[in-house]
Amino acid sequence: MLELVTLPPAFGMRNISPFCLKSEMLMTSLEIPFKMTQEADPRQAPNGKLPFLVVDGKRLPDSELMAVYLDDITQGKVYGGLTPAQNGQGLALARLAEDHLYWLMVASRWLDEAWWPNIVEGFFGIAPRLVRPLVAAMARREVSKGYRLHGLGRHSLEDQKAFALRDLAALEGAVPELGFLFGDSPGIYDFTIAALMAGIFDNQPATWLTTLAMPFARLHAYTERVQAAVGVYGRPV
């Protein structure tokens, strides 16, 4: 049986990472037998990132590479039903979500002083209390460095919020009012967008990005529809 390794619950969510949630949604939709386990320390994962998939004792990293593997073992049930135009549109939306808006979500959690105590407790609560602030601060410096290297971290908070609003407006305009992106049931690109948005809409307490996202009612309804269709939610239900 395949084993999907994800982060443990935090911030009022049972599945906090959009990459972990996307993978769980996809595997559930494909009706592939699998079990889920948790790893609190990403350093123990291949490439230092979660999720990863254990296949015959080997660890397969990265949610996108996992989707390609699942497409192969299911004879094209992940990508095979998409036209080149649909795949191009879906991949473009996935890159917007996972390579741009995702980083703004990370910043709204990790780099906001008001929200920072939630990170310390949610991610580092298992560390001994005496060393917890030091360990958390070291991790925060790495996140801040990565955010700056991405480029978004070089902008003011006002500019970051403006970027986020444009990303949200683009996704709001791209998702359908009813149904799903490319068919009567949700697929890999629906799971990609909905998993990220679930982490923005439902994490507790709200971040500044949550506050910006809430007025996007169509995007919110779409996120709920995708989760309901596959029966997998980021939050406890």
Tell me yes or no: is domain 2-230 CATH 3.40.605.10.
no
Sort strands 34-38 and 2-6 into parallel, antiparallel or unpaired.
Answer: parallel
Q: For the chain, how big is the Rg over CA atoms in Å? A: 17
> Which of 50, 18, 22, 48 has the alpha carbon at shortest distance from 37?
50
Ordered alpha helix ranges (H), 130-235? 132-150, 157-174, 188-202, 208-213, 217-230
Walking along the chain (237 residues) 10 residues at a time, the average pLDDT comes out as 96 95 98 95 90 96 97 97 97 98 98 96 85 92 97 98 98 98 97 98 97 98 98 96
- What's the pLDDT at 24? 98
Q: Would you state the structure tokens that stand for residue 17, as one six-digit string?
A: 């990472």
- What's the pLDDT at 129? 83
- What's the pLDDT at 76? 97
By CB atoms closer than 10 A (0-12, 13-18, 19+), residue 151 is exposed
> Which of 9, 27, 69 has the alpha carbon at shortest distance from 191?
27
Can you tell me the distance from the alpha carbon of 14 to that of 8, in angstroms, rounded to the nearest whole number?
Answer: 7
- What's the pLDDT at 126? 80
Instruction: Indicate the domain borders of the chain.
Output: 2-230
